[in-house]
Amino acid sequence: MDFQKQGLKEAIEIAKNLVIFTGSGVSAESGIPTFRGNEGYWAQFSPQQLASEDGYLDHPDIVWKWYLERRQKALETRPNPAHSSFADMQDFFEKVVIATQNIDKLHQRAGSLDVLELHGSLFRSKCRNCENVWDDENTKFTDDFHICPSCSSPRSVRPDVVWFGEPLPYNILQRAIKEAEDADIFIVAGTSAVVYPAAQLPYIAKQHMAFLIEINTEPTPITSIADLTLRGKAGEILPKLVDVIRNIRR
């Protein structure tokens, strides 16, 4: 693995702020499907059918079934070495922020403390009627899970995730943009970097002189602007990157 790339050692020596932008590829080695791979969700389902409000309104039970299956899978799985490596990096830099597109909460379960959930969470629901949002990690979903516990309006409860055509949570996106601007090192891991506005973050970091590292099994649009591309599985590469950081920063 080419960690000797020009600039990496210097970047690690002087960095204060580390920002990590992740997508479903970081959870792949935990057994959670990605979206756009051959085995990905979009190979079986249409994103418009499952990850859009129209799809939810047309067939709420199918959308709920998909999210509850994903939620169960996330609960049954464990963070992998990619998640734990990002948590370990908190020992070596003043500030480590994770801006994730993932909704599986595996970064938090691995010990990352500052996680921006750009696309929401499998473990929160919200009411379309009264806009109440609540944690439902311990909810045992039953047939009446459509009833809002706050306003009791029937069939108004949906997953608190960002669907296509919906805006990202304003404060979270603004914070992610600010952190990308302030990043000394910006790691892009396990994302195809095609979903906007989240995918703008690496470009913002690069424009603000961050050292850009990409970790992916395949090339993406970010590859051409990365200062260092580490080609391979995040769960295998990241523990080695932590060793490199530890040797420089200890």
Helices 234-249 & 81-88 angle (0-180, nearest 10): 20
What is the distance in angstroms between the CA of the first residue and the CA of the last residue of the chain? 21
Q: How many residues at the interface with ligand BV8, by CB under 6 A?
A: 35
Q: Closer to ligand BV8 at the Cβ: 154 or 197? A: 197
Contact 4, 200 (CB under 8 A): no
Question: Shortest Cβ distance from residue 129 to ligand BV8 (Å)?
Answer: 20
Show the tokens assigned to 158: 């949906």
Q: Would you call 119 a catalytic residue per the annotation?
A: yes
Q: Closer to ligand BV8 at the Cβ: 36 or 124? A: 36
**Whole-angstrom distance, CA of residue 108 vs CA of residue 236:** 20
Phi then psi for residue 95, to 5 deg, are -140, 130
Site stretch for ligand BV8 (CB under 6 A), options 105-113, 132-140, 159-167, 175-183: 159-167
Contact 136, 125 (CB under 8 A): yes
Q: Which of 15, 19, 51, 210 binds ligand BV8 (CB under 6 A)?
A: 51
Binding positions for ligand BV8, 87-146, rule CB under 6 A: 101-103, 119
Half-sphere exposure of 153 (CA within 13 A, CB side): 11
Question: Shortest Cβ distance from residue 192 to ligand BV8 (Å)?
Answer: 3
218 near ligand BV8, judged by CB under 6 A? yes
Show the tokens assigned to 68: 């509850």
Residue closest to ligand BV8 (Cβ):
25
Other CB atoms within a 10 A radius of the CB of residue 66 amount to 17
Site stretch for ligand BV8 (CB under 6 A), options 25-33, 56-64, 134-142, 202-210: 25-33
**Whole-angstrom distance, CA of residue 1 vs CA of residue 3:** 6
Q: Closer to ligand BV8 at the Cβ: 40 or 60? A: 40
The catalytic residues are 119
Contact residues toward ligand BV8 (CB under 6 A) are 23-25, 28-29, 34-37, 40, 51, 101-103, 119, 161-167, 190-192, 194-196, 215-218, 220, 233-234
